[in-house]
Amino acid sequence: MRRVVMLVDNAVEGDSRVQKAARSAADAGWHVTLIGCAHVDAERRWRLGDAEVRVLPLAAVAASGRDAGSCDGSGLRGVSGLRGVSGLRARLVARGGLPLRAARLARRPVEHAEVRFWRARLRDGAWRRLEPGLWDYERVAGPVVDDLRPDLIHAHDFRMLGVAARAVDRARAAGRDVKLVWDAHEWLPGARPRRDNARWLPAHLGYVREYVGHADAVVTVSDTLADLLVRDHALPERPTVILNAPIAATTETSAPDLRKRCGLPPDTPLLVYSGAMAVQRGVDTVVEALPLLPGVHLALVVADPAAAYVRQVVARAARHGVGDRVHVLPYVPHRQLVAFLATADIGLIPLHHWPNHEIALITKFFEYAHARLPIVVSDVRTMAETVRATGQGEVFRARDAADLARAVRAVLADPARYRAGYEGPDSPLPGWTWEAQAERLDALYRRLLTPAPNFPT
């Protein structure tokens, strides 16, 4: 049995794409080990079907200052005044003489100078100085990958690409032919930086450019992103598109009922938002629309109902006088999610305009669709175009609460019209399943690991 190692830079549990990929590959006969790297107290192990999961603990940030975004300043002495400005800023902050926002503004010239200096000196390798915390993933996962001796490494998202590439290089130096698949979950140039500093994005862009050429194949989440990756990296082959679609056939015998969890009768209009919560996700717009939608309730299905931003949204709802109509619930296992959502009336995707929001059908889009929910989506390009083409929902202007309320009223007035988009011979649902995506992934693995025939010369 050929061994596949999957790598991801999180604790696995909240990443349905990664879980589905590991489990379906194991179901197809591959010996799968899924390795996550996260800030956990100790290594965690469990199984997803026949796939083994190991979550490795990332070390705490060293007191010496070698944090995930630090730059030690060595080599910067030739940049006039840079070290002096940085030191002054540090002294002001330490003495409480510089408020946090002012401190962030004060550090920007220094950070931009750091980026210019190290990119001029190390080009794409500048990430080693600008984002040295990337080495933590190598230090933690690299030896484990080597011990597993995989035939193929599947690197999810951008941080694990370098870890996988270096493991492949070590294996090939030892005489083993290992293949590398890079799974690009998002378009990195269009991503929101994970931290508020000027180093983060250029460092990670250089990191990806350094290692993308090591990949034997690339997979990604949409046709639009596949085209962008070909353009950005001059890929010799167009990436295989593996949609973030849900599992159609589930082994779960029962699932909880969203409406019952909210304590609502069948005739109460219920909107649902399921997924990550952040300002750019647009949930504030929904809250602002609720006063325009008397009697309509909103369910928020989130990873952590007690998270600070979730509490802010609930407080905003209370200020608008609709707090009693907002219900916050925790995630359910992804194999139960479609059935869980199905008792709502509308699935919401109120995203703000942001490059990565424009280019793909996101996971919740497919989950709502398989729950047969009409979808109300902001006018982000790909999802808006799809909804208009299929007739499965309504589109509103992003960040416009009145227009969102208009779209909700239209759907509630004739829900059968929108649900009809999922029925009949032209239904998109058969192609929007993880089972269909898993077949593509399995075919890719087999193509990469099938020896080429030796023709006589």
Residue 224 lies in a domain: yes
CA distance 347 to 335: 18
pLDDT at residue number 122: 94
Statement to judge: residues 302 and 263 lie in one domain: yes
Q: Give pTM, 2 decimals.
A: 0.83
Range of the structural domain that residue 84 is part of: 76-124
pLDDT over threshold 60, residue 199: yes
Q: Is residue 395 classed as helix, strand or coil in its secondary structure?
A: strand
Statement to judge: residues 40 and 103 lie in one domain: no
Local confidence band at 90 (pLDDT 50, 70, 90 cut-offs)? low
H helix or E strand, kind and range, residue 274: strand 270-274
Least confident of 130-134, 317-321, 322-326, 335-339: 335-339
Mean per-residue pLDDT, 315-341: 95
Statement to judge: residues 388 and 414 lie in one domain: yes
pLDDT at residue number 70: 40
Mean pLDDT of the chain: 89
How many domains are there within the chain? Answer: 3
Statement to judge: residues 214 and 268 lie in one domain: no
Local confidence band at 110 (pLDDT 50, 70, 90 cut-offs)? confident
Statement to judge: residues 273 and 380 lie in one domain: yes
Residue 366 lies in a domain: yes
Statement to judge: residues 38 and 150 lie in one domain: yes
- Give DSSP secondary structure letters for 158-183: THHHHHHHHHHHHHHHTT---EEEEE
pLDDT tens string 275-287: 999 999 999 999 9
pLDDT tens string 392-449: 999 999 999 999 999 999 999 999 999 999 999 999 999 999 999 999 999 999 999 9
CA distance 159 to 165: 11
Residue 452 lies in a domain: no
For 30-100, strand residue ranges (E) read 31-38, 44-48, 51-57
pLDDT over threshold 60, residue 48: yes
Local confidence band at 96 (pLDDT 50, 70, 90 cut-offs)? low
Phi and psi at 33, nearest 5°, equal -120, 120
pLDDT at residue number 456: 62
Mean per-residue pLDDT, 215-241: 97
Q: How far is CA 240 from CA 137, 291, 316, 363, 447, in A?
A: 26, 44, 42, 17, 12
Statement to judge: residues 275 and 342 lie in one domain: yes
Mean per-residue pLDDT, 22-47: 97
Mean per-residue pLDDT, 325-335: 93
Mean per-residue pLDDT, 329-347: 93
Statement to judge: residues 166 and 300 lie in one domain: no
Which of the two residues, 413 and 91, has the higher pLDDT score?
413
Statement to judge: residues 197 and 320 lie in one domain: no
Q: Of all residues in the chain, what percent are helix, strand and coil, respectively (each to 5)?
A: 50, 15, 35
Statement to judge: residues 274 and 416 lie in one domain: yes
Pairing assessment for the beta strands 270-274 and 346-349 based on DSSP bridges: parallel
- The gap from C-alpha 109 to its chain's centroid, in whole angstroms, comes to 30
The CATH number of the domain holding residue 327 is 3.40.50.2000
Share of the chain above pLDDT 90, in %: 80
Question: Side-chain half-sphere of 141: how many Cα atoms within 13 Å?
Answer: 32
Statement to judge: residues 117 and 166 lie in one domain: no
pLDDT at residue number 63: 32
pLDDT at residue number 192: 75
pLDDT tens string 145-198: 999 999 999 999 999 999 999 999 999 999 999 999 999 999 999 887 767 788
Residue 448 lies in a domain: no
Statement to judge: residues 119 and 143 lie in one domain: no
β-sheet bridge partners, residue 32:
4
Listed residue (422, 365, 411) closest to 269, CA to CA = 411
CA distance 36 to 12: 6
Amino acid at 65: G
Environment class of residue 228 by beta-carbon count within 10 Å: exposed (0-12), middle (13-18) or buried (19+)? buried
Which of 124, 141, 158 terminates a domain? The answer is 124
CA distance 369 to 419: 9
Mean per-residue pLDDT, 332-353: 94
pLDDT tens string 67-86: 444 433 335 434 444 444 44
